[in-house]
Structure 1
């Protein structure tokens, strides 16, 4: 599953907020620069479910980890209800069930919901606590793709922290030659 060029341009146009595209299995299909900076504490930015349950950084990064983890599982279950034979989704669920007892327990709880807007609290090691609103949009014409945008309250400390994070990330990329 690939992201169209116009959607990629839209992501890049969100310079002041993290924006990314996920598939139903929670694989990151595309991210903007600020998303790279935001998720830098993780070993790999590849699959949000795997990052949540298998990366040690997750429990520090998501201060309300229990709630976030439950929402990830509920979203996967929602996606499975829409396409029960999605091979990538089945692979992620099987792998996480084998590798994480917590995931397996949450998966067996049968909780299902899709979300379009949610308050998200994050703790970034470089800029501290961030309070963001997560907005999710289905991408028309690209079945299964979900555009997610994390927005701070305008003029808030979180907005200032995201600006600082973006500057730190740009400086880091320049010094490493990327």
Structure 2
């Protein structure tokens, strides 16, 4: 928490109830009493400290930004994704990763497919902020599924080269 000295935390956007996403909510609220915890309405009973519940079609105002909400079940039943159109930023939690998607803990393959399909129409220049960095593992898996895909093999090589240099394997384009 010492890294937060001098900063103010206004909001925590939870996408689902798993401990690695909500485990610090109460500690952060104690440190920043005016912080608002936003999370999925469907999982409100499983998210500590939740103040604002949102779901499909809701828009939550954060300063000058409109944060739009999509229900994206699959990883969990109550999973949501946040999209900020003004900055072309997507926060998919554990729904979408570079070269992959989240594991199905509570949802079904059909739900995950439907959730990913909801995100597909977003603008091509949308910057995706994944909740975890699984690109290298996803690339290794993907080439076993599609071993003759030259572009996929090249992407895997670039990801591995970046990791050897301790660089991030994925980079979003700068804001437009």
- TM value normalised by structure 2: 0.30
Q: Which has the larger radius of gyration?
A: 2
- TM value normalised by structure 1: 0.30
Which structure has more helix as a fraction of its residues? 1
